[in-house]
Structure 1
Amino acid sequence: MTAQDGHEELEAQFAQWRQYVLRRRELQPFDADELEDHLRGSVDELVAAGLSPDEAFLVAVKRMGSLDELSREFAREHSERLWKQLVLTADSRSPVAGTRSRRDLWAMVGCAAGAVASVKVPALFGLSLEDDSSFYARNFTLFALPWLAAFLAWRRKAGRSVLAILVALFALGAVAANAYPLADTSQSVVVTSIHLPIALWLVVGLAYVADDWRSFRRRMDFIRFTGEWFIYFILMALGGGVLSAFLFNTFKAIGILPEEFISHWLLPCGATAAVVVAGWLVEAKQSVVENIAPVLTRLFTPLFTAALLAFLVAVVWTNHGIDVEREALILFDLLLVVVLGLLLYSLSARDPLAPPGPFDKLQLALVVSALAIDVLVLVEITGRITDEYGSTPNRAAALGENVILLVNLAWSAWLLLTFIRRRTPFAALERWQTGYLPVYAAWAWIVVLVFPPLFSYV
């Protein structure tokens, strides 16, 4: 094993230890950061004393037992926090825990109320969902995501520089969504409505990692948060749909039609508030959702793999090209994004020290299938642009997105293959995915800010 391989394997062990520590609800990421600093220092001392990195890690972790002097010292230094109860008394029902939970709850309620108020402000200026659908399509995430970012930044105690960047980026998003003279039927409205949420969600990621944005581990934590947030949001959306149907039919039975209340208040206000509530649930109930999300990932990965392989077989069998009109482009890009999401979340939930297994081979098949479909889509898009059809905002955006996805999928397939063949550590795949996130953010901002004037606001 080379020194580089030993370093990457040691980093994987640190990542596994951190993942285990963060399962304790009592601990915050900055708690884990401080403990990890102590652990790394202990490992460095043991390596300097002549132990191998693996031996040093095992000994250092042993020394970090729940009742050792180091942990007690840490508890005394942070006596106002939950760590004191965790280490000294192991009482999860501490008053400190209740205080922090209540503070988080009230912070969430305040941010959710802010999101609800934001979505209703345009109505004060005569705008409505029915008559101004393009406005709401461009701005809907601006009503909710800044408040989710505010909640996360509050929990992380983000510094002033991070807060300033968050405000500036959300303001830039508001300008991009509203400053350009776009007609309701403009293609730029569609591309802005699709790409602005992506750009702003990665701004939320900056609030999540706060001052530790350079850490690939914190970026991987945000990927895990994204998957868990999505699950909670969908569950709440399904519950909201059931509630809406129940209200409509019960009031209809007594001669009252609550359509206006449901469409103007319940659905938009509930949706924006749910964005914040879902984030709070992930933060508060992390250990519960960790049991759900990996199961869903393992369920849908083979299903999507089978669907993609069946599609490729059908393309070869029928010798029929892919339709690259707007709806089809959105569909195929959405499919590739779902595949990427399955890959990202399965990576974030995986034990980094576990050896390659059958599920890793299944993921490789999924990535290779998605890569083949991406190539087919790129060939069709390039052909349409270079032929008499020319370029449009939709095709140009789809071309760039598929090129970005092609690079990511191709290198991911290679790293998965070498990992399965035990030539590359799992940490290399994690670093590649987390390091690639800024590429998506940069492209989304380019589409939102540059494409409308570039294509004359068509």
Structure 2
Amino acid sequence: MEVSHDELEAQIDRWRGYIQRNQAISPVDVDELEDHLREQIAERQASGLDDEEAFLVAIKRLGNLDAVSREFAREHSDRLWKQLVLLPDGSDGAGAPPWRELAVVLALAVGAGVAVKVGLALIGDGEALARNVGLLTLPFLAGYFAWKRRVSIRVVAALVIPVVVLAATLNLYPFVPGGSTAMLAALHSVVVLWLLVGVAYVGGRWRSGRRRMDFVRFTGEFAIYFTLLALGGAVLIGLTLATLQIIGIDFESVMEEWILPFAVPGAVVVAGWLVEAKQQVVENIAPVLTRVFTPLTAAMLLALLPVLATAGGLVDADRNLLILMNAILVLVLCLLLYSISARDSLAPPGLFDGLQLVLVLAALGVNAVMLTAMLTRIAEFGYSPNRTAALGLNILLLIHLVWAAWLAVAFLRGRRPFAVVERWQTSYLPVYGVWAAVVVLVFPPLFSFS
């Protein structure tokens, strides 16, 4: 029976994941292999083969070109090939020597620190610097991945142009000091910049669902490594300060003027490099973290939902409560994405998938309560930059979670493969980037830069 094109894409994505786990094969080589695979599939389809036959024949053809693909073709079945042991023989990789990559990482980390230090000198410590923090740090992380993936000039242009537009917008718009649109622009510009980092991370091939999911996984692992670096750095700085204070040396000014401006942005680049260098180690951590925090977060939301739904005067509650609940919903979404990225796409539905559905349904309940409160506040007090931005985010979350729940139910009932659930999550991510860009570019003039 002929398989659907969705299943073909899922097969290609699983094959790519299989190849990527071989550390001897560089990302550039994986991209080239996938291009060859797709060419072979297209040729077989043009000759009249269905998707499944075209895929299997293409894999066998690639077996003549690459030892890993040959092993894949020899042992391929619906599930068995996922359990194969990868053999690094026959490829010595096309990546840069370790010392060269480390030199590039350190140069970019220092560059990010220099950019922040220059920003402090030219812009000063205030709202203007807050708007530019993302611009002063994240392009260096994107630059690392652009170098690592050897992206084309076209991809470089696709990365540079939005950064230039953001820089011009954040620094040329006549923001009112202390206004809401300035803070909204600063926060949402980071979202846009992070998606640009994602474009560099996937080597410009954003249309691949598997690569987008790789970036989701990278985001979670990056947060883990950056937190560990921050905690370790805080302990080291604290011990240094305590020691120097005992002997009568004031170290605080040096720390504030030199160490922190270089350490924090430098840690952003180093954390990204650590994730890239230690992928297989973190893959063992990700499933553990998601299995611990998914049920705990679901329990928290289920406890909060009846309290919020029955609390009187929720509409008149402090806006900080609504902001906090929005933050919780975003955290839930990040946990959901990270959980999906850590799951074996070939595994059958299980208890943990049911827990994820409970998490999504609980988040939908909280979202509905928050959305009702926001609409009521807007009806009573009118539109403001913060209310409009929060309303837009809640609507986007509602759409995302509703369809995620629908697909999760279909997967649990055996009516859809997990690849469809996974593809929806990553396909929807650019919507948040578009909304963030709207907040940065349109909201300030729309609300008179206040």
SS at match of 2:105: helix
The answer to whether the Cα contact below 8 Å between 2:26 and 2:95 also exists between their aligned partners in 1 is no
2:110 alignment partner, one of 105, 110, 113: 113
Rounded to whole Å, the distance in 1 between the matches of 2:389 and 2:68 is 55
Residue correspondence of structure 1 range 25-424 to structure 2 within 5 A: 25-39=23-37, 69-71=64-66, 86-88=88-90, 99-125=96-122, 127-128=123-124, 132-319=125-312, 321=314, 325-387=318-380, 389-424=381-416
Q: 1:29 to 1:73 in 2, by over 3 A?
A: closer
Q: Is the counterpart of residue 436 in structure 1 residue 434 in structure 2?
A: no
Displacement of 1:320 in angstroms is: 5.4
Displacement of 1:178 in angstroms is: 1.7
Displacement of 1:413 in angstroms is: 0.7
Rounded to whole Å, the distance in 2 between the matches of 1:397 and 1:53 is 44
Q: 1:244 to 1:57 in 2, by over 3 A?
A: same
The answer to whether the Cα contact below 8 Å between 1:112 and 1:274 also exists between their aligned partners in 2 is yes
Displacement of 1:225 in angstroms is: 1.4
Q: 1:137 to 1:248 in 2, by over 3 A?
A: same
- Report which stretch shifted further, 229-238 or 309-318: 309-318
Rounded to whole Å, the distance in 1 between the matches of 2:235 and 2:315 is 37
Rounded to whole Å, the distance in 2 between the matches of 1:330 and 1:374 is 12
Q: 1:374 to 1:216 in 2, by over 3 A?
A: same
Q: Which amino acid in the other structure matches residue 240 of structure 2?
A: L
Pairwise CA RMSD: 2.8
Displacement of 1:168 in angstroms is: 1.3
Q: Which amino acid in the other structure matches residue 24 of structure 2?
A: E
Displacement of 1:436 in angstroms is: 1.1
Q: 1:413 to 1:145 in 2, by over 3 A?
A: same
Rounded to whole Å, the distance in 2 between the matches of 1:437 and 1:211 is 15
- Report which stretch shifted further, 50-59 or 439-448: 50-59
2:445 alignment partner, one of 448, 453, 456: 453
Q: Which amino acid in the other structure matches residue 407 of structure 1?
A: I
Q: 1:319 to 1:73 in 2, by over 3 A?
A: closer
Q: Which amino acid in the other structure matches residue 188 of structure 1?
A: T
SS at match of 1:291: helix
- Report which stretch shifted further, 201-210 or 30-39: 30-39
The answer to whether the Cα contact below 8 Å between 1:138 and 1:177 also exists between their aligned partners in 2 is yes
Rounded to whole Å, the distance in 2 between the matches of 1:44 and 1:438 is 28
Rounded to whole Å, the distance in 2 between the matches of 1:420 and 1:283 is 33
Displacement of 1:309 in angstroms is: 0.3
SS at match of 1:154: helix
Q: Deviations over 1:55-111 (max 9, x none)?
A: 8767876887xxx64226999xxxxxxxxx9323x8xxx7x7895222211111111
Q: 1:139 to 1:48 in 2, by over 3 A?
A: closer
- Report which stretch shifted further, 97-106 or 298-307: 97-106
Rounded to whole Å, the distance in 2 between the matches of 1:261 and 1:179 is 32
- Report which stretch shifted further, 8-17 or 214-223: 8-17
The answer to whether the Cα contact below 8 Å between 1:147 and 1:276 also exists between their aligned partners in 2 is yes
Q: 1:182 to 1:51 in 2, by over 3 A?
A: closer
Rounded to whole Å, the distance in 2 between the matches of 1:384 and 1:315 is 16
Rounded to whole Å, the distance in 2 between the matches of 1:325 and 1:149 is 38
SS at match of 2:248: coil
Counterpart for residue 78 of structure 1 = none
Rounded to whole Å, the distance in 2 between the matches of 1:143 and 1:180 is 18
Number of residue pairs matched?
A: 434
Displacement of 1:213 in angstroms is: 2.4
Displacement of 1:176 in angstroms is: 2.2
Q: Deviations over 1:146-193 (max 9, x none)?
A: 111111111111111211121111111112222222244211222122
Displacement of 1:267 in angstroms is: 2.1
Q: 1:51 to 1:180 in 2, by over 3 A?
A: closer
Rounded to whole Å, the distance in 2 between the matches of 1:351 and 1:246 is 42
SS at match of 1:35: helix
Q: 1:151 to 1:434 in 2, by over 3 A?
A: same
Q: Which amino acid in the other structure matches residue 339 of structure 1?
A: V
Q: TM-score if structure 2 supplies the norm length? A: 0.88
Q: Which amino acid in the other structure matches residue 108 of structure 1?
A: V
Q: Which amino acid in the other structure matches residue 267 of structure 1?
A: L
Structure 2 residues not aligned, in runs of 5+: 71-86
SS at match of 1:86: coil
Q: TM-score if structure 1 supplies the norm length? A: 0.86
Q: Deviations over 1:315-338 (max 9, x none)?
A: 345455266644223312211111
The answer to whether the Cα contact below 8 Å between 1:16 and 1:351 also exists between their aligned partners in 2 is no
Q: 1:444 to 1:236 in 2, by over 3 A?
A: same
The answer to whether the Cα contact below 8 Å between 2:2 and 2:52 also exists between their aligned partners in 1 is no
Rounded to whole Å, the distance in 2 between the matches of 1:137 and 1:104 is 30
The answer to whether the Cα contact below 8 Å between 1:12 and 1:353 also exists between their aligned partners in 2 is no
Rounded to whole Å, the distance in 2 between the matches of 1:74 and 1:423 is 31
SS at match of 2:361: helix
Displacement of 1:234 in angstroms is: 1.0
SS at match of 1:380: helix
SS at match of 2:197: helix
Residue correspondence of structure 1 range 1-40 to structure 2 within 5 A: 3-4=3-4, 7-39=5-37
Rounded to whole Å, the distance in 2 between the matches of 1:56 and 1:141 is 45
Rounded to whole Å, the distance in 2 between the matches of 1:45 and 1:159 is 26
The answer to whether the Cα contact below 8 Å between 1:324 and 1:377 also exists between their aligned partners in 2 is no
SS at match of 1:210: coil
The answer to whether the Cα contact below 8 Å between 2:110 and 2:262 also exists between their aligned partners in 1 is no
The answer to whether the Cα contact below 8 Å between 2:45 and 2:54 also exists between their aligned partners in 1 is yes
Q: Deviations over 1:231-263 (max 9, x none)?
A: 111111111211221122111111123222222
Displacement of 1:26 in angstroms is: 2.2
Rounded to whole Å, the distance in 2 between the matches of 1:41 and 1:136 is 48
The answer to whether the Cα contact below 8 Å between 2:315 and 2:377 also exists between their aligned partners in 1 is no
Q: Which amino acid in the other structure matches residue 452 of structure 1?
A: P
